[in-house]
Structure 1
């Protein structure tokens, strides 16, 4: 039986103390609360392979075409890399008239290049808060190997917290661990943390593939910030820039047996409760 993800998103009724989540691949998710629906880092094309060729082919097709998504209240991008700020996906979503598009202020020019309406764009930088109907969004600098800023001092890589009423989500974007990060995020009292696990190594660095936390660092961060549940991401789409999520599960089992986790499959819907 083929699932209709768009219908699932539209018809889901979510309690006040929970969120519904659709895992759409890489770092891409749709989050639905009782009050609003947002997407983040949606990579629903094969544009990376189309631009750069091998070895950037997807291991599986997108679970839904971007134009098939129902209207979203907001679509966020954590940074400018093509599997997070995908022009093919964003161009398809620009027809959704109710959507606000949020990105690092350092990359708003790229969003404009994709044909997105200036009146529906919102730029953010570290420490800033954006309030939209049903959700409060706060931006935190990410260190995708290093901090990078534009000429105006705006961070090029961000993570976000989403406060949906009484439920708070942290999406780390692409980042390595660094001492300030748990100090910034811990006061947010995160109910669910979405963290990358694909790591970094000599071979990928030599190929100019920018690194992230590995599975141990990701679990350590979730524990350090007191997350209610941790969800790994950034695996399963590109074989040469991947990690086995079973290592993440085993490390949690051995090191943080009290830390709940959810290991999503591509296209899966699940509910997170407070």
Structure 2
């Protein structure tokens, strides 16, 4: 990993581990993100599908209940990888993004083609936020500022992201952890920080300085898995989760931003791999995320849903078990 070192880590310092070389994080037995030459090859391949400027959801903006008690589980899609998970009296947001662009700029970069499935003013009191990594389509500092001002939630995130968030939102309540850590939230709820096969960067010179992760939410009503952003990586992490946790009532799995495969496969799984992942981790139900809101890659806007339906049919999995959620869609999970 030494070849990737160019500067001291500005976000984290700690002892080496099986996924940290003393300066940078990495995927054990996995692949590094593409080189700049590979990025140029992809950007100029001429195969990028044209997305519509607007693609409204068929569902109206949701107005969630204040709380969902006990073992009941309600999930509402906001957009991309942002979902509201309500169970055990807690309101949990995954990778909250309300900005118009997934970009460091307000005038350029991937632009939202549909409004958030919940208007920010209609959010119930948010108790907990899970931030999987620091890419702009997952870490929206403006949204975190708003959440701090109006809700003051606890933010649980992998190592190093706390430094970046604290610099922008100094009073944010933060809890930063390594893979394998377990955090008690209360009311019988625990958060497990688990491996994902991905990478991190906010700019050109901080690649892999902050860790990336998925999360397992352990609740009285069952376990919930939020994969964050991940490549399939031969299903290694899915098998690990099944072995460690036994299975899941519900999983939130990425199904988009996967073309071209020669470039994206190590970091972004496709719908077929998501279905394999659902089966490998023993999830009873799953929601597809990371599609249909920001155009990040080459595939057409509706291809993930079509490929998901084909994969479910090929694997004999009923379509009601794995749904590609649209903004505003609400699922009362069995």
Cα drift, residue 162 of structure 1 = 0.3
Alignment gaps of 5+ in structure 2: 1-58, 201-206
1:18 counterpart SS class: coil
1:59 counterpart SS class: coil
Cα drift, residue 164 of structure 1 = 1.4
> What residue number does 1:201 align with?
259
Aligned length: 261
Contact 1:175 1:211 in 2 (8 A): yes
Distance 1:55 1:136, change over 3 A: same
Cα drift, residue 183 of structure 1 = 2.6
After superposition, the C-alpha distances for 1:205-240 in whole angstroms (9 at most, x for unaligned) are 4xx998410001110011111111121111011235
TM-score by length of structure 2 reads: 0.70
1:137 aligns with 2:194: no
> What residue number does 1:123 align with?
176
**Alpha-carbon distance in 2 for matches of 1:116, 1:75:** 16
**Alpha-carbon distance in 2 for matches of 1:210, 1:115:** 32
Q: Which moved more, 1:55-64 or 1:34-43?
A: 55-64
**Alpha-carbon distance in 1 for matches of 2:178, 2:120:** 26
Contact 2:199 2:211 in 1 (8 A): no
> What residue number does 1:24 align with?
78
**Alpha-carbon distance in 2 for matches of 1:209, 1:216:** 12
> What residue number does 1:5 align with?
62
**Alpha-carbon distance in 2 for matches of 1:54, 1:210:** 26
Write out aligned runs for 1:45-124 (5 A): 45-48=99-102, 51=105, 53-54=107-108, 56-117=110-171, 120-124=173-177
**Alpha-carbon distance in 2 for matches of 1:246, 1:116:** 43
**Alpha-carbon distance in 1 for matches of 2:329, 2:170:** 29
After superposition, the C-alpha distances for 1:117-139 in whole angstroms (9 at most, x for unaligned) are 25x21111100001112321001
Q: Which moved more, 1:169-178 or 1:252-261?
A: 252-261
1:218 aligns with 2:274: yes
Distance 1:170 1:238, change over 3 A: same
Cα drift, residue 54 of structure 1 = 4.7
**Alpha-carbon distance in 2 for matches of 1:204, 1:86:** 28
Larger Rg: 2
Alignment gaps of 5+ in structure 1: none
Cα drift, residue 96 of structure 1 = 3.5
TM-score by length of structure 1 reads: 0.85
**Alpha-carbon distance in 2 for matches of 1:223, 1:240:** 27
Cα drift, residue 149 of structure 1 = 5.2
1:193 counterpart SS class: strand
Distance 1:210 1:113, change over 3 A: farther
> What residue number does 2:218 align with?
163
> What residue number does 1:40 align with?
94
Write out aligned runs for 1:251-270 (5 A): 251-257=311-317, 260-270=321-331
Distance 1:204 1:56, change over 3 A: farther
Contact 1:44 1:64 in 2 (8 A): no
1:101 counterpart SS class: strand
Cα drift, residue 69 of structure 1 = 2.0
Contact 2:286 2:322 in 1 (8 A): yes
